[in-house]
Structure 1
Amino acid sequence: MLLLLLFWLVLPGAAFASEDTGASTQQDLESDILALFPRANRPPELDPTSGIWSVYQLNELIGYAYESNNFVDFKGFSGERINVLIGLDMDGRFTGLHILNHHEPIFLHGLGPKPLKEFINQYPQHSLSEHILFSDRKTGQGDGGSHNTYFDGVTKATVSIIVINDTILSSAREVARRVLPAFAQQAPAVVRSDVFTAMDWQALLASEFVKHWTIPSADLETKLGHSLSSYLADQVDLSQAERDGDSKTELYYAYLNAPSIGKNLLGEEDYQRLMTKLSDGEQAIAIMSSGVYDYLGADFRPGTIPERVSLEQNNIPITLRDINFFDSSQPNLPEGAPALDNLRIFKIRPQAGFDPSSAMQLILNVKLDRNHLVHDSIYVKSDYELPDKLFSQLSTPEASKPDAMWIKIWKGRLNDIAILLLGLSLLTVAFSLQRKIVDHSRGFLWCRRGFLLFTLVYIGVYAQGQLSIVNLIALFMGAINGFDITVFLLDPIIFILLAYTAISLVFWGRGLFCGWLCPFGVMQEFLANAASKLGIKQWHISPPLHRHLLKLKYLILIGLLGTAPFSLTAAEKMAEVEPFKTAVTLTFVRDWPFVMYAAILLVLGLFIHKFYCRYICPLGAALAILGKIHRFEWLHRRRECGSPCQLCKHRCGINAIDKTGSIDYDECIQCLECVVILQDPAQCAAAMSAEKKSQKTRAPRIDTVTIFEGNSTP
């Protein structure tokens, strides 16, 4: 209790002291801008119309600076935007970045600010022309010539990092298009659907509607500085070249939305199917290759962004994503077209700002390993431009609205979502059929332990699905300040668990979440099981003290909800009364006071069953209050429960069964152990008594017989 009081007395003050408000005056902002441009030696000048600062060295314009909030409106995991001060030089390279303001809990109260600073410090000296990807395995690759650049992400902060990255790149592209000549973008155009000319394969090639790009291996070897035979054999195919005596790589690619190209190349049926598959504003490009270097590579997976090939327009990379178009059919190309097995169709989303009527370049990234430690990377380009007659220019184009951030995140976590929904479906079925399932008490015990392990390992540690009082505080603040569901949609796992828990409260109360879906609760239950196996003596808490301690979690909840409207940061600091972030989200990789606090709570659980859940947890308190609306008191009871039988009460680890036999649904975690006892004739006293009476009723009657002594005469 002393440790708990220390957390609540010290952390709120620290919260007010550490809240990052960024530059408070224009003078502070100017100083921050100059720090992004070491060469600058005069104050920056602000264009009040655009919100962009011009930065000079004497009279030479050397770059621009801006606040991201002036150009994008991406909300972070906290529900607030992340404002970044960004510097760009005249070539479109980042000169520096500085976080002016953010409210991401993981960086304020979890991992701390250091990982965030390390993340944004990867951008300086990188250009908008680079194709930036995230991969711990490949961090830094691309500097040696590859068009791809890989940055380190931040483990445990995936949602926040996605939002920050999109904030930086989207705002930088918007600014670059406005002020940097090299990134200026022409007005977009739309395809003229009324323009169609029938063409065969040779005509498509001759008109360059289908571009045939040949790359002699000698050119690649010149750029690489080594013979292709010096690289690992599984990366290049030299067999065909050796037979034909002509070593080269050939690519065929084409823009498909124009009928004169798409219909002639794919055929009428597949062209119409493609147009139906594409959403408004989406565009498609077909690519296939043959020869020494396959543009897809062995690691390519359908439906993903290819690493070896990309598109560029006006020095801005255009992301291509495979749509797995020929997943259940074969392409029907015109006669004379090569029969290649790597034809893929890639889509371009509207927010890319792609203009099909303007010149573009297809880029082939060539990365070859000489051994497991040394590799060479280059990229080569092919120009592609289509005639104006295929398009109608828009004089006043509307800016394409990018996909909502949450949609991008949900698409990236479809597998995680499917596994979670399957687990929740199984849990729902189990609760609906509880009496049938608990008939086999030992089998049910192992099924429960298996699901609890799924909750801890998959939902908690892997999928980062530990619900927290912070989630409910966000809901509470949303109700006060205006609810924005997109904030909660940023984390699909948390959103689904919140929705499922809300629905379950209506039917079953708080117990389904607390007893089955809380990873920290699972930790405590496993420790309690270990304590039972080891024979650790449990501490007895007197009934009066128990009743008083039950009120503590409600007082903590009131303190949190009362603080949040005045300082959300302080409330989030005070929410560290929950050990969830330390024990589950960060798996104890945190500063020692937090680790010690979580460890003490777990150790107490060895001596007092689920100590934290019963007496401290503000989330449990909130769910108990909300769970009062539950419609069913559905845990099976007998009239003998409580009078005279007290077995279930004595077995209930959290003391949620009254002497009368009634269940306190505010405290019950619905472990179903009492239902197991009632359904098991070998455990339930009432069932055993009824069975004995039944046996007496069914006992056979013994008829009276007369026994004669001596011999009988026939």
Structure 2
Amino acid sequence: MAALLRILLLLLVATAARGEVLGREGLAGFVRPPMSVGEPLGDDGVWELLNSGGALAGYVFQTEPLAPIPGFSGAPIDLFVALDLEGRFIDVKLIAHNEPIFVSGLGEAPLRAFLDQYRGLSIAEPMVVGTPYGDAGTGSALTYLDGVTKATASVRIAHESILAAAREVARERMQGIASAPPAAPDLAHREALDWDALVAQGIASRKRVTNAEVEAGFAGTRWADDDPEAKADPEGAYLDLWIVDLGPPSIRDAVLGEATLARLARLLELSPTEEPILVIDAGRHGLVSPDFVRNTAPDRLSATQDGLPLALRDADLLVELKPGVPEGTAMILRTDRRLGFDPSRPWVMEVEAVREHGMFQPEVGRVTLEAPHATPERFFLREEPAAPPSPLREAVRARAGDLWVLGGLVVGLAVLMGPLMHRVARRGWLLPVRLGVLAVVLGFVGWWGQGQLSIVTVLGAVRTAWEGGSWAFLLYDPFGLAVWVAALVGLVVWGRALFCGWLCPFGAMQEFAHHAGRMLRLPEWEPSALWDRRLKWVKYVLLAGLVAVVFVAPDHVDKAAEVEPFKTAITTVFVREWVFVAYAVGLLLLGMVTFKGFCRYACPLGAVMAIGGLVRGRDWIARRAECGSPCQLCRVRCRYGAIEPSGKIDYSECFGCLDCVQILDDPRQCVPKVLAAKAALRMPQKEAA
């Protein structure tokens, strides 16, 4: 083991290859004629895009130099982007990536199809990866991009890379606005304000639009006669919108009731970079559509600053206003200052007036009503540069239910392998409990939750550590991250047993294959003790080889990692090319005659867990003085070969099946207990004689 660790340390100091930055010729291969690549614009990888006459038509760039957001392999998803002079996407193409799900799982076709959706869209349009609720997308100001099933996290990484790089180019090249730290509310600034003062000083801005003005917006279109109420009351208020930035304490104190102030304070305590914005509509518009779902992006409200979109989201707060504040439909929206919003500078709220024409599959028409707003600079301080927003919060929110169930499962396993271990390990109890847990792990953690841990994550972490990159790629999959946390904590308490024995979906599948083999009465093939010891080193050799590939040929890591069948059996549920399916099925067939052969001998992730298990703080399975001498029952029955002839347990090979605990506690199986019971019966007979 020590020799293996030395080998791995030597591999860690090998030379690693980084992603290639394309020059003019490399970028030209992605540009469609008659356009061509012009001159570079600075040293950030942005180039001129020229039309057929040689005039400037836009900009082309790679996303990796501008937004190196790591993917699951540890390397960014590198994309080619072409923008026209108005900030509209001309093209988005894939340059390079190592995302495991696309390399050989789903193939690159779904990713390329996802990227095709950007063509023709504008950087000024608020874009969301996902599906609108019900018909909410019909009259929405949001643009929804269809994601890729089983690859949501990777697609979001690509989406954030595209938008982050494109916004940087748009701000610097198109708007002439250099990126600067946004302002934040000055929490120490206090003024005595009421509603009249807010209105008088322009702190509360108003936008009133009559029915007649909206009618004029739809005049000459097919929707011109689709609002009888507007025609009946032309001077009535279609929109009577008030906008107030609630970030500064003095302003929100002048507007909100006590209960809402307390709820907003709790929200800002958890999310201090959020800027809350109050909107009140006393007109007919109502702010959102009937299909709107709380705590999501408002479907008929959007905002821009400097021509670029701001990300708005409902704060999901019940709004109680102070007396004197106008009545109407009230919402508190929030946007994150880290995403480019500067509350001390003017911005524009855009309200969609929506009409439908026709009864069946009606056609939707929209008119945008703009409401500019600015809050005086005296309420703000300029912040220091802030770190990019973490993707963890939204990802956790999206999978909150799954994470709660996973947490309950892990806690249950900790109790099962801790305080209840000896009760569960009783004859007649252990097998049904174990198979029940493994069924949940395979179905919920594996197929449903996509929580199968993989050596790919370990290799990505190794590459990130070597190159000094970001670990943010781990945060795009909070479910998988939670399984990793449970596995790492388990290493300290039980060694590899918690994950390898109970939490690994493919390990569960291997065990079910073994029981299927017994039901079919297939012959069993188990290597001799000598070959068992030899074969257990195969997984360490495979691990060392994979780590070497990270540094010698990093572009081939994904292919080398196919030694794991996890992507085939768990991630894609056998929907792959036949060669991968044949390999995974072959390993399961092997498991029917050789107990968990892949897990014991060939799993590189198991090798990582075995090495990590060296941090285990205790020997958690009890032993007796007679274990090993003279009793060998536990060693003979251990299917993992994890008990030495001396009776000592080799925890680097122990999967925590609890079979030896069952033997140890059973007076009918444990040889020392059986002998002690017989001796106790003979003692009265000797005394009587």
| 1:530 counterpart SS class | helix
Q: Indicate if the aligned counterparts of 1:249 and 1:290 stay in contact, CA closer than 8 A.
A: yes
User: Which fold has the larger relative contact order, with Cα–Cα distance below 8 Å and residues 6 or more apart in sequence?
Assistant: 2
Q: Choose the corresponding residue for 1:452, options 438, 456, 461.
A: 438
- When structure 1 is superposed on structure 2, of 654-663 and 608-617 the one drifting more is 654-663
Aligned to 1:618: 604
Aligned to 1:102: 97
Aligned to 2:304: 312
Offset of residue 589 of structure 1: 1.7
The percentage of counterpart residues that share the same residue type is 32
Over residues 166-197 of structure 1, what are the superposed CA-to-partner deviations in whole Å (9 max), with x where a residue is unaligned?
A: 11112111211222259999996666875846
Offset of residue 122 of structure 1: 1.2
Aligned to 1:170: 164
- Please say if 1:90 is aligned against 2:82: no
- Please say if 1:607 is aligned against 2:565: no
Q: How does 1:254-653 map onto structure 2 within 5 Å?
A: 254-258=244-248, 261-266=251-256, 274=264, 277-278=267-268, 282-289=274-281, 294-297=286-289, 299-326=291-318, 331-335=320-324, 337-338=326-327, 343-364=331-352, 366=354, 376=364, 378-386=366-374, 401-406=387-392, 408-410=394-396, 412-438=398-424, 440-478=426-464, 480-482=466-468, 484-641=470-627, 647-653=633-639
Distance 2:291 2:548 in 1: 53
Distance 2:415 2:102 in 1: 39
Distance 2:211 2:666 in 1: 78
Distance 1:464 1:527 in 2: 20
Distance 1:496 1:103 in 2: 23
Offset of residue 698 of structure 1: 8.5
Structure 1 counterpart of 2:442, one-letter code? L
| 2:552 counterpart SS class | coil
Over residues 365-395 of structure 1, what are the superposed CA-to-partner deviations in whole Å (9 max), with x where a residue is unaligned?
A: 748697785563535323133475766797x
Offset of residue 594 of structure 1: 0.6
Structure 1 counterpart of 2:311, one-letter code? T
| 1:504 counterpart SS class | helix
Offset of residue 660 of structure 1: 5.2
Distance 1:187 1:511 in 2: 48
Aligned to 1:7: none
Q: Indicate if the aligned counterparts of 1:505 and 1:627 stay in contact, CA closer than 8 A.
A: yes
Aligned to 1:225: 223
Structure 2 counterpart of 1:177, one-letter code? R
Distance 2:679 2:661 in 1: 22
Distance 1:373 1:560 in 2: 55
Q: Indicate if the aligned counterparts of 1:134 and 1:153 stay in contact, CA closer than 8 A.
A: yes
Offset of residue 59 of structure 1: 5.2
| 1:601 counterpart SS class | helix
| 2:82 counterpart SS class | strand
Counterparts in 2 of 1:331 and 1:477: CA distance versus 1, 3 Å? same
Distance 1:698 1:375 in 2: 97
Structure 2 counterpart of 1:631, one-letter code? G
Answer with 1 or 2: which has the greater Rg.
Answer: 1
Offset of residue 601 of structure 1: 0.4
Q: Indicate if the aligned counterparts of 2:69 and 2:470 stay in contact, CA closer than 8 A.
A: no
Distance 1:483 1:184 in 2: 25
| 1:362 counterpart SS class | strand
Distance 1:688 1:645 in 2: 11
Structure 2 counterpart of 1:360, one-letter code? V
Distance 1:524 1:392 in 2: 60
Give the structure-2-normalised TM-score: 0.82
Structure 2 counterpart of 1:560, one-letter code? L
Structure 2 counterpart of 1:316, one-letter code? L
Distance 1:480 1:96 in 2: 33
Offset of residue 515 of structure 1: 0.3
Counterparts in 2 of 1:269 and 1:634: CA distance versus 1, 3 Å? closer
Distance 2:355 2:18 in 1: 43
Structure 2 counterpart of 1:175, one-letter code? V
Distance 2:141 2:506 in 1: 44
Q: Indicate if the aligned counterparts of 1:20 and 1:101 stay in contact, CA closer than 8 A.
A: no
Structure 2 counterpart of 1:179, one-letter code? R
Distance 1:207 1:23 in 2: 49
Counterparts in 2 of 1:115 and 1:689: CA distance versus 1, 3 Å? same
Aligned to 1:158: 152
Offset of residue 597 of structure 1: 0.2
Offset of residue 124 of structure 1: 0.9
Distance 1:667 1:272 in 2: 54
Over residues 638-661 of structure 1, what are the superposed CA-to-partner deviations in whole Å (9 max), with x where a residue is unaligned?
A: 455456655544543334345554
Q: Indicate if the aligned counterparts of 1:78 and 1:104 stay in contact, CA closer than 8 A.
A: yes
Distance 2:380 2:560 in 1: 59
Give the structure-1-normalised TM-score: 0.80
- When structure 1 is superposed on structure 2, of 569-578 and 535-544 the one drifting more is 535-544
Over residues 48-74 of structure 1, what are the superposed CA-to-partner deviations in whole Å (9 max), with x where a residue is unaligned?
A: 356432223325432222222343332
Q: Indicate if the aligned counterparts of 2:136 and 2:299 stay in contact, CA closer than 8 A.
A: no
Q: Indicate if the aligned counterparts of 2:355 and 2:365 stay in contact, CA closer than 8 A.
A: yes
| 1:163 counterpart SS class | helix
Structure 1 counterpart of 2:168, one-letter code? E
Over residues 220-252 of structure 1, what are the superposed CA-to-partner deviations in whole Å (9 max), with x where a residue is unaligned?
A: 98777287799xxxxxxx9xx999x97956554
| 1:432 counterpart SS class | coil
- Please say if 1:26 is aligned against 2:24: yes
Q: Indicate if the aligned counterparts of 1:643 and 1:661 stay in contact, CA closer than 8 A.
A: yes
Task: Name stretches of at least 5 consecutive residues in structure 2 with no aligned partner.
Answer: 1-16
Q: Indicate if the aligned counterparts of 1:22 and 1:101 stay in contact, CA closer than 8 A.
A: no
Q: How does 1:671-690 map onto structure 2 within 5 Å?
A: 671-681=657-667, 683-684=669-670, 686-688=672-674, 690=676
Structure 2 counterpart of 1:305, one-letter code? A
Offset of residue 579 of structure 1: 0.5
Distance 2:616 2:247 in 1: 55
**Number of paired residues?**
664
Q: Indicate if the aligned counterparts of 2:425 and 2:661 stay in contact, CA closer than 8 A.
A: no
Task: Name stretches of at least 5 consecutive residues in structure 1 with no aligned partner.
Answer: 1-18, 231-237, 703-714
Over residues 577-606 of structure 1, what are the superposed CA-to-partner deviations in whole Å (9 max), with x where a residue is unaligned?
A: 111111112221211101110010011111
Distance 2:444 2:147 in 1: 21
Structure 1 counterpart of 2:150, one-letter code? K
